[in-house]
Chains A and B, each alone.
Chain A
Amino acid sequence: MSIGELLSQYGEKYLQALLTTWQLTFLSFAGAMVIGIIITVMRACPIKPLRAVGEFYVQIFRNIPGAALLILLVYALPNLSLVLPYFQCVLIATTLIPASFASEYLMSGINAIGIGQIEAARSLGMTFATMMRTVVIPQALRFSVLPLTNLLIATMLTTSLASQVPLNPMDLTGLVSYINTRVAGGVTSFLISAVMYCGTAIIIGQLGNLLDKKVRIMR
């Protein structure tokens, strides 16, 4: 099909699909940050069992394939009398997986600070809370801007999992599959979605670079 035919027939659907992908991406990323921070606090706290749980979470969710997790949520949970709507299943999968990576990046952000600064803060008589608030967390966040930007892009790519379940409206990947199982959409039908994905990724990347330049610590 030519681009004109595609856009006149499916233009609105593409727009809706773009919005669905954006919606999934930003909801997932926000959730992933919240869970990622909680997991990081657990991994950094002095309570051994909580540390173990944090490490366990990260090892599970950074290694499980998205498709395997989604299938467990969609098909296996009903066997435990827990039936979730498709959208929520996708959202949970695309949140839990990036959360493990968010925790990894935040953790290496903390590691990048260096023991010397922490010792210096303590020798100044700072309490633990003051030290975390004024020395550790601000720097850890600054160090993590670029990795977290890449994580936001990766989260967007993960949301293509939504194409594996029936959603209405569909996401960008699901729509390409939908169109091409009905008509011969051709390369153009793929390129429209691809350009929308790439455009989003480029915008996110540019904003991340700007933010990083603003907050980076020069040494």
Chain B
Amino acid sequence: MSVHQQSVRDALYETPGSGARKAIAIVTALSIIALAGVLFYIGKVFYDNGQFDAKYWSFFTKYTTWRFLGQGLIGTLEAAALSGITAFIIGFVLMSARICHYKVLQMVSVAIIEFTRGVPTLLLIYFFFLIVPQLGINLPSIWRIALPVAISAGGVVAEVLRSGVNAVPKGQREAALSIGMGEVKTFVKIIFPQAMQYIIPALIAEMVIVVKDTTFAYVVNFPDLMQDAKVLLSNYDALLSVYLVVAVIYILINYLINKVSVVVARRMQTTPATR
């Protein structure tokens, strides 16, 4: 993808002549100066407000700080993993209902998928946090965050799975049926494994959304990275530095997930069945 991207945007320009090269060099220099100016200004604002003071940053050299944040991170990863697995199960059930032969099941499935895609995760979180207990159901706090996040992602997963199943060439199913495999066995042994090949990168990328949504765990008092950050910043009275570090951690995690998705996508481009 990135190789292709490079070539199209570079094709927009002719090879620059001597005049254009000079102009590009000048604008490049100017833009570097402008960027340096912006960075300097940001640094100055930080400095003027005393945000570079050692008291705001020194505790990041302590082992205990990182152990505490690490615990929060484990909480985040637990919630994300649980949500991811649950979302896959929900997505699989919805997808199966959508491609089955029963009209009613299809319609129910479509309605649920559209609903999950049109409602914000936060609203679902408040549903599980404030309204489900009114019905006398008390979920453990990890499920109060994992379930709404999973439902929200489940609709997307269902559509991704369906696109994978549709991408498997028709001949594969016909061949399997013609050698005497049943519908279910054909799906489990022939169609689904091939469908997964097409969509694993998309499923990995969906985990970014799951990780992002788990940041709302503080709403339900589940100890994740964000919640631990709150404790940390009240201990050291250092708001900006703690939140900046936590934001960077989240960005790095999600960046990594995206990268894995791209790498897996490139690896998987090898020879799926064509007919």
Contact = CB atoms under 8 A, between A and B. Distances in A.
Given A64-B250, A173-B126, A194-B115, A47 B212 contact: no
A128 to B, nearest CB: 7
A181 interface: yes
A118 interface: yes
B184 interface: no
A216 to B, nearest CB: 19
A67 B5 CA distance: 31
A159 B123 CA distance: 11
Interface string A171-188: 011001100110011110
Contact of A79 (B120, B239, B254): B239
A98 B28 CA distance: 28
B138 interface: no
B126 A68 contact: no
B246 interface: yes
Interface in A47-86: 47-50, 53, 59-60, 62-69, 71-72, 75-76, 79-81
Interface of B is mostly: helix
Interface stretch (A5-13, A196-204, A207-215): A196-204
Contact of A193 (B16, B114, B123, B130): B123
A198 B240 contact: no
B114 A80 contact: no
Given A67-B216, A80-B45, A201-B117, A110 B243 contact: no
Contacts of A136: 12
Given A72-B243, A153-B118, A67 B226 contact: yes
A-B residue pairs, 6 tightest by C-beta: A201-B118, A160-B120, A198-B118, A63-B254, A180-B130, A65-B215
